[in-house]
Amino acid sequence: MIRAIATVREAGASRLVLEVPGWPGQRPGQFAMLGLEPERLRRDPLLPRPMAIYRGDASALEFRFKVVGRGTRIMAELVPGAKLSLLGPLGNGFELPSGPATLVGGGSGIASLYELARVARPAPRVLLGGRTGADILGLADFDALGLELSIATDDGSLGRRGLVTDLLAPRAGETVYACGPLAMMQRAHELAAAAGARCRVSLENPMACGFGACLGCAIKTPAGFRYVCTHGPVFDSASLGWEAGS
Amino acid sequence: MGGGLVSGDVDLSTGLGGVALRNPVLLASGTCGYGTELSPFIALEQLGGIVAKSLTLAPRAGNLPPRITETPAGMLNAISLENVGVDAFVREKLPALPAAVTVLASVFETELERYAEVCKRLDGVERVAALELNASCPHVKAGGIEFGQDPRVLAELVRTCRRATTRPLLVKLSPNVTSIAEMARVCEGEGADGLSLINAVQGLLVDVHRRRTVLRNGLGGLSGPAILPIALRMVFQAARAVKLPICGIGGIASGEDAVAFLLCGASAVQVGTITYTQPGAGIEIRDGIEAYCRQHGVARVRDLIGALEPWPAG
Ligand SMILES: Cc1cc2nc3c(=O)[nH]c(=O)nc-3n(C[C@H](O)[C@H](O)[C@H](O)COP(=O)(O)OP(=O)(O)OC[C@H]3O[C@@H](n4cnc5c(N)ncnc54)[C@H](O)[C@@H]3O)c2cc1C
Ligand SMILES: Cc1cc2nc3c(=O)[nH]c(=O)nc-3n(C[C@H](O)[C@H](O)[C@H](O)COP(=O)(O)O)c2cc1C
Ligand code: FES
């Protein structure tokens, strides 16, 4: 894990490519905390933002994101040469599947799955969903992996019209990996459980620190509070108390 | 002012009610966990010390999420003093810290006798350099702030805990009071060794689209740079009201912020929320104080305490 000042190499509406000195590499599903004010002259926004590591190596680190508020809006307006502070890689990441797997990504959650789609063997099936076609982050990259890929959009502008979970038909013994809106992950969990499949979900809760100091990212589970930054972000879906609303 | 001090000759040492500190920068309770969470990023022994997460008699679960949210230049939290309990702290958390780290323990409870019992259990623990009585958590349902808002209740709390421990006893005050000077005097009168102020400021945010409070708990505690002027004002007023040493807390994000607290009368400072933005902030702030001293020809950091210059009359 490192703390570094990263330099923006490429930036776009939903894409950020950083140069990070000494980047040690990551496991699929790990994340980084991106601080928007490394010089801390402006202290607003104050807190760093958790972002899944889309892909990365020593030469460049890439993030894909959805603009939802001020932090991500600032990220979308960054220009090459701008500086960010970075802490990562953080979190447990996905354990690699030992057999067949289906990846289900919705909205910004898609970004958490690309690295897993790339390295999992045998090649997993991938289901991606968004409100419209433009919301499917990294579509060309997933396409280039040459695996079985299906799309669903709310408005039918790309792939099938409907929810991405409508495309999900888990088989016994496989592993479902899901990242996206809570309702989507809950549906994936239910379908997997009914089919006798394992299900891993990656949660996207707001965070303050990202390393276990603030206890702000707590989720309630039947076994008590767990912290998304240190116990997760990836959880066995069966360990979460979906009924209680986590 | 003349500069010219060379590297290494600034004396950063200070003290807080009988606790010697190698420099004035501590990490604030609740923002540095039990220390170990930060060890990968920062050499804790290079700080003045750390104040561990507030401890209750039994382990305590916090509020339901969402428990944090961001505000302009700050954050609002309602963690509600989730902690492992005093015994697990002594057994598991303390031994995991390097011996050179100065550790202060923060005490919190919902009833007087329980406060005293936590103090007693920490009294014989060698690694604990001092106790900080948290009389000021802004968002727990019972206890905490109630102890810090009524001068008579605060007096009883400090008196009870004073009897329960021989350790240096600091009292962490709430900013959510009408007169901080009055609260400071109460603590002095009951034999406290020092004051820490301020805890987070009570606040509330609303999600207008869902027409409900952003935090599940409703109320939260506001912290971060947004509260710095409030905290400075309170340290300034408390320092004029009592002779007790004061640990200044609230929104510190740079060496210069910390110096401002010293000038207002603080003997040391605690750094909280900024640690989330910058895990190494404590060390950077210590270095910033040192750089300030060098720039202004200050040989001993203690010379800054209360050294605010008056405006000329007229
Ligand atoms: C481990 C992890 C990995 C993540 N990876 C990605 C990623 O790769 N790409 C990506 O686009 N996003 C990702 N996120 C989510 C991302 O961190 C948030 O969307 C971002 O912090 C929002 O910041 P903001 O300043 O734009 O929004 P804010 O101004 O802070 O909030 C704007 C609105 O969005 C809501 N909001 C804020 N954060 C979240 C959240 N985490 N979930 C749901 N609603 C939220 C707020 O309540 C508010 O209504 C990830 C989150 C986690 C925990
Ligand atoms: C997430 C969080 C948890 C906190 N927990 C505690 C606590 O357990 N005990 C305590 O005395 N203060 C607690 N505080 C208050 C801080 O110690 C500090 O007084 C306050 O945040 C103001 O300082 P800052 O602006 O530098 O953060 C907490 C603050 C935050 C942000
Ligand atoms: S984000 Fe601070 S503990 Fe998880």
Q: Is the pLDDT reported for residue A34 higher than 70?
A: yes
Q: Please say if the pLDDT value at position B141 is more than 90.
A: no
Task: List, for residues A220-232, the tens digit of each pLDDT value.
Answer: 999 999 999 999 9
pLDDT surpassing 90 at residue B311: yes
What pLDDT, in 10s, does the model give residues A72-103?
A: 999 999 999 999 999 999 999 999 999 999 99
pLDDT band for position A41 (50/70/90)? low
User: Stretch A225-246: mean pLDDT, rounded?
Assistant: 87
Over range A198-219, report the average pLDDT: 96
At A98-140, the pLDDT tens digits run 999 999 999 999 999 999 999 999 999 999 999 999 999 999 9
Interface size, chain A vs chain B, as Cβ–Cβ contacts under 8 Å: 99
Subunit contact A214:B31, Cβ cutoff 8 A: yes
Query: Chain A: residue nearest B226 by CA?
Result: A43
| pLDDT for the residue B6 | 61
The pLDDT tens digits for B210-237 are 999 999 999 999 999 999 999 999 999 9
Strands A218-221 and A224-227: antiparallel
Give yes or no for a contact between A184 and A178, defined as CB atoms under 8 angstroms apart.
yes
> Is the complex ipTM higher than 0.90?
yes
Look up the pTM and report it: 0.94
Q: Are strands A198-202 and A175-179 parallel, antiparallel or unpaired?
A: parallel
Ligand 2 pocket check for B224: Cβ under 6 Å: yes
Q: What is the pLDDT of residue B270?
A: 98
Residues of A in contact with B28 (CB under 8 A): none
Q: Which residues of B fall within a CB distance of 8 Å from A212?
A: 33, 37
- The percent of residues above 70 in pLDDT, for chain A, comes to 96
Q: Is B79 in the pocket of ligand 2 (CB under 6 A)?
A: yes
Contact across the interface for A44 and B276, Cβ inside 8 Å: no
Which pLDDT value is given to residue A205?
A: 93
- Angle A190-A196-A201 from CA coordinates, rounded to 5°: 50
Using the predicted structure, report yes or no on whether residue A42 has a pLDDT greater than 90: no
**Residue A211: its chain B contacts at CB < 8 A?**
37-38, 40-41, 279
**Cα(A65) to centroid of ligand 1, in Å?**
9
Q: Considering CB atoms only, which of B40, B79, B273 is closest to A1?
A: B40
| DSSP bridge partners of A102 | A125, A176
Clarify whether B137 is annotated catalytic.
yes
Report the separation in Å between the CA atom of A230 and the middle of ligand 2, taken as the mean of its atom positions. 20
Tens digit of pLDDT for each residue in B26-57? Answer: 999 999 999 999 999 999 999 999 999 999 99
Contact B82, A220 (CB under 8 A): no
A107, exposed or middle or buried, with CB in 10 Å at 0-12, 13-18, 19+?
Answer: buried
Single-letter amino acid code for the residue at B274? I
pLDDT in the model for residue B198: 97
Q: What is the pLDDT of residues B78-102, one digit of tens each?
A: 998 999 999 999 999 999 999 999 9
Name the residue with the closest Cα to ligand 2, atom 26.
B272
Nearest to A92 by CA among A194, A241, A230, A242: A230
State how far the alpha carbon of B233 is from the alpha carbons of B16, B236, B244, B277, in Å.
20, 5, 17, 25
